[in-house]
Amino acid sequence: MSTKALYGILSVGIVGVLFAGIAYQQGWFSSQPGAQNADAKFGKGDQDVEKLGPAPDGFQWVGGVLRPDSDVMPQEPLELPDIGDQSIGKRMGRSPEIDPNTNADTRSVAEALAKPEKFPERLSPAFPAKPFDLDGFKADPKAYLTTVEPGRIWQSLEKAEGVSQLSRQSPLYQTLIQGETVALRVKAIPGAPVTFHSFDLGHFENRLTTTSVQAGDDGIASVNFTASGGTFGELNILAASPQTSGQVNFVVKVGLPAVAAAR
């Protein structure tokens, strides 16, 4: 190709680009039906917008461009139910206050709060629970079950021949509306203690986030978990028994009553 021919092609290309830019600025091209650019009509931009006058029925001026109402207005009124104060704190509520004398479980925690240096294992799963004493448990199951120790969820036997494994007997995933209750069940061995702990609020029948129960003759241990005030989102609950191997987890998703009503 000759140099002259190459210059000719470049010249045509440059002119085409310039034409396209001018045409775009002047509003000669529009992807919207019925659109009309004010600059194309008056050629002086914003200073002439006042000369446009009222928009025809069914159209509106938007930045000097005539647009159909359907481009800038909703086709149907948007109706949402009144669900009250939408601040997350107001909607979630607050965790209910608990009387320390509600039951033996709450009394054990109140005692630990009064003397945290003496009973730290009753306050958090971060503290190791006392070693499990099978003979002591058999002699007085109630004393074990009514003493709250969240760290028991870390106590279980190693897998070995003849050792039963803790298994889930209710669904892994549950969905609740705040205020509702669900039963969580696991299978251990008959008469074994099983501890359940919620890492994310809510409470069991003892009104606390940790509870220990004894499995029945069928090996099933069951607890009722309530999504109480202040509880919202995805909750993680763990269960374990010192007489079986492994742990069992549950995931409970808690929604707010007002949000559920809005759907």
> Residue 82's pLDDT is what?
54
Give me the residue spans of the domains in the chain. Answer: 95-261
- Indicate the class that CATH gives domain 95-261: mainly beta
What is the Cα–Cα distance from 30 to 47, expressed in whole angstroms?
A: 22
- Spell 207-230 as b/e; 16+ CB within 10 A means b: bbbbbbbbbeeebebebebbbbee
- 184 touches 225 (CB < 8 A): yes
Residue spans of alpha helices (H) in the chain:
3-25, 38-42, 69-72, 88-92, 104-114, 134-139, 141-145, 257-261
> Residue 58's pLDDT is what?
82
**How many separate helices (H) and strands (E) can be counted in the chain?**
8, 10
Q: Tokens representing 37?
A: 């650019």
Report pTM.
0.66
Q: 177 by DSSP, 3-state: which?
A: strand
> Residue 62's pLDDT is what?
77
User: End-to-end alpha-carbon separation of the chain, Å?
Assistant: 69
Count of Cβ atoms closer than 10 Å to residue 184 Cβ = 22
> Residue 171's pLDDT is what?
97
Give me the residues of the chain with pLDDT under 50, please.
2-47, 80, 83
DSSP symbol at 144 = H
Residue 260: phi and psi, rounded to 5, are -65, -35
> Residue 87's pLDDT is what?
54
What is the Cα–Cα distance from 149 to 130, expressed in whole angstroms?
A: 8
> Residue 84's pLDDT is what?
53
Residue 177: phi and psi, rounded to 5, are -100, 140
> Residue 226's pLDDT is what?
97
What is the Cα–Cα distance from 1 to 63, expressed in whole angstroms?
A: 48
